A and B are shown apart, each in its own frame.
Chain A
Amino acid sequence: MSTTMNSSLDTTMSTVATAPDIRARRSTAHRPTTYLRSEWLRTIRNRRFFVFSLVIPLVLLLVIAGPNRNQTLGGLPFATYYMTGMVAWGSMAAVIAGGARIAAERSVGWNRQLRVTPLRPSVYLATKVATGYALASISIVLLYAAGISLGVRMPFGRWFEMSGLILVGLIPFAALGVVLGHLLTVDSMGPAMGGITSLFGLLGGAWGPIADHGVMRALGEGLPSYWLVQSGRVGLGGGAWPARAWIVVAVWSIVLVRVAVWAHRRDTGKV
C-alpha cells in the first residue's frame, strides 16, 4: 500500500500559496452574461421549439379569429378572447420548453460536466427559466401584433396590465418545465409537452370558453392556464383576476417550484 501520506498535512498550506501564481498570469475579464447568451442562441437556433410556442398559435389565431372577428366569445370580442387564448397556450409551451431542455443536456452528460465547473445550480436553473420567458415574450409580442391586425383594441396601459398577469401566470409552467426536464427523457419530451400544453390549454379555455357551471368549470377555474386566458378580460375594464385567480396561481406556483427543486436535487444528488 502507498505510504505517501506522511508529510502531506504540513505542506498543504505552501501549495495554496503557490497555486494562484499560475492563475494570475492569464487573468481576463469574467463575463457572466456569456452563459446566458449562449443559452439563448441555443434556444432560438433549435427551431422545433418555435412550432408549439409560436407557429401553431399564430396560425390558429389568424385562421380562426380572422373570419370571426366581429363575433364575441366568452363575453369578449372574438379576436381578443382568441388572442389571449393563443398567448396563454404559446407562452405556456415556451416556458415549459425552457426547463425541458434540461432533458437534452442530461442525455449527453452535459449536466455532469457543468457540475464540475464553477457554475452554480441556481444560475443554471435561472438561465433556463429566463430563456423560457424570453421565448414566451417573443411569442406574446407577435401574437399581440397579430391580434391588433385583427382589430383587438384596448387602452395602452391595459396591454401592460395583461402582460403582467400573463408573466405571473406562467410561473407554475416554468417550474413544470424544470420538473419535466429532470424527470423525462428527450424521447418522451415531445409527446409529454404536446399533451400537457394541450390539456392545460383545452381545460383552461384557450380554444374556446369552458362550460358555465359543473365539474369542468370547477376544474378549469382551478388551473393556472384558465387565468392566463382570463387575463384578456383587462380589456373590459376592471380587474381580470379576482382573489381566487391569485390563490390558484400562487398554490400551483408553490407546489410546482417545490417539485422542481426536489427533481433538481434528485437528479444532481450524488449518484
Chain B
Amino acid sequence: MTPHQAPPPAGGIRLSGLKKSFGSVTAVAGIDLVLAPGETVALLGPNGAGKSTTLDLLLGLLDPDSGEIAVFGQSPAQAVADGRVVAMLQTGSLIQYLTVRELVETVASLYPCPRPVEEALELAGLSRLQDRWTQKLSGGEAQRVRFACAVVANADLLVLDEPTVALDVESRRDFWAALRRIAGEGRTIVFATHYMEEAEAFADRIVLMADGRIVADGSTSEITAMVGTRTIRATLPDVSMDDLRSVAGVVGVERHGDTIVLTCNDSDRALRALLADHTTISDIEVRSGGLEQAFLELTAEATR
C-alpha cells in the first residue's frame, strides 16, 4: 500500500524503522515517515493506534527500541534543547499562582528567540485575559494558554496533541485561523486529532495510523481515493431494496423515502445499470466516500 508514491520534498523530520513496545504491548510497530519543512500534518487513528507514542518519540520523551529520528538533522533531545521544537501536550491543568501573561513570559524566557509575548497572547485570543490567574481559567481558556505557550516559543516544529479538545466551536475556529497564520510562516506542524473534519480542513497531509503502523499517508483526496468507494445518491421511487442490492458494483443500500443512497465499489458500472433499468431515476449525485469512510475502512483493514 503506497499512497504517497511521489518523491517527498526536502526532509525536515525523518522517522525511520521506528519501534517501541511497553512490555508485551507493541505501541509503535515500525514507522517510516518524512516530513518536509513547512508541512502541516495530521496524525489520525483510533485510540491505541500509537499516535501519542509516536509524538512522544518525536519529542524525545521516549527512546525508541529501534529505529532513528532526526529533527532538522538533530536528535529529538538536541532539537528540544536548542528550542527548535515546541509541544502542546495534553496536561491536567496549568501551574498555579501566575497570571496568564506571567506564564507565557516564563515559557518565552526558556527559548532562545521567542516571539513577543503580546503577539502570542493576541494569536491565542488571550489579550483580555492576560491578567487573570491561571487557576481561575475555564478548560477552554486554559487550552488557549497552552497554545499561547506553544506559539511564543517561536520554534520551527510545533507538535500539538489533540489541540482543540475542550474548545467550543468559536474558539476552535479562532485556533485554526491562528495556526494557519503560523503555518504560513513556514513552520512545520504535526497535530494528532480525533476530529476528522479538522484534519481534512487544515492538514496538507494526513498520516493515518492503526495498530502501531502507518496505514495511509497522503492528502485527503489521495486517501479517500485509496478506499475506492463512492456513493450514488438519487431519487428513485417504487424500487425494492433487493433490486438495488442486485445492481452490479453496489455494495450497500440505504433508502430514505424516495431517496436512495448506494455505496459502490464500482460506481461507473452501477450508474450505467441504474440508468438502463430505471428510466424514472433523477437527481443523481456521485461522490467519493469522505475521509471518515476511508478512516474506518483503512483502520479496520489494518487491524483485521
Contacts and interface: CB of A to CB of B under 8 A. Distances in A.
Contacts of A104: 95-96
B183 to A, nearest CB: 12
How big is the B interface, by class? 35 or more
A215 interface: no
A8 to B, nearest CB: 3
Contacts of A271: 62
A11 interface: yes
Interface stretch (A86-94, A109-117, A132-140): A109-117
A4 B111 contact: no
Contact of A109 (B2, B89, B186): B89
A24 B185 CA distance: 13
Interface string B79-113: 01111111101111111111000110111111111
A12 B11 contact: yes
B213 A1 contact: yes
Nearest to B10: A11
B141 interface: no
Interface string A5-26: 1111101111110110011101
B5 interface: yes
B45 to A, nearest CB: 14
B140 interface: no
Interface residues of A, number: 50
Nearest to A7: B7
Contacts of A56: none
Contacts, number: 168
A22 B185 contact: yes
B250 interface: no
The secondary structure that dominates the A interface is: helix
A219 interface: no
A161 interface: no
B91 A22 contact: no
B110 A117 contact: yes
Given A1-B213, A4-B4, A15-B73, A41 B97 contact: yes
A25 B55 CA distance: 28
Nearest to B134: A42
B112 A5 contact: no
B109 A3 contact: no
B73 A110 contact: no
Contact of B113 (A28, A33, A112): A28
Among B62, B154, B159, B213: residue with most chain A CB under 10 A: B154
A15 to B, nearest CB: 5
B16 interface: yes
Contacts of A213: none
Contacts of A108: 91-95
A7 B62 contact: no
Given A15-B12, A22-B187, A23-B154, A30 B7 contact: no
Given A4-B4, A8-B8, A46-B97, A118 B89 contact: no
A181 to B, nearest CB: 14
Interface stretch (B32-40, B258-266, B290-298): B32-40
Contacts of A113: 87, 89, 91
A35 B110 contact: yes
Given A2-B32, A116-B86, A42 B110 contact: no
B210 interface: no
A7 B11 contact: yes
Contact of A42 (B97, B109, B111): B97
Interface string B1-29: 11111011111101010000000000000
Interface in A80-135: 104-105, 107-110, 112-113, 115-120
Nearest to B3: A2
Given A23-B156, A109-B91, A14 B105 contact: no
B115 interface: yes
A5 B34 contact: yes
Contact of B110 (A2, A26, A110, A119): A119
Interface of B: 1-5, 7-12, 14, 16, 32-34, 37, 59-63, 70, 72-73, 80-87, 89-98, 102-103, 105-116, 153-154, 156, 159, 185-187, 207, 213-214, 217
Given A19-B37, A108-B95, 6 more contacts: A12-B11, A28-B113, A112-B89, A113-B91, A116-B60, A117-B107
The 6 A-B residue pairs with the shortest CB-CB distance in the complex, in nearest-first order: A109-B91, A34-B109, A8-B11, A45-B97, A11-B10, A27-B113
27 contacts: A1-B214, A5-B16, A9-B11, A12-B14, A15-B73, A16-B73, A22-B154, A27-B112, A28-B113, A28-B114, A31-B109, A32-B109, A35-B110, A38-B103, A41-B98, A42-B95, A42-B97, A104-B95, A107-B92, A108-B92, A109-B92, A110-B91, A112-B61, A112-B89, A116-B87, A118-B80, A118-B112
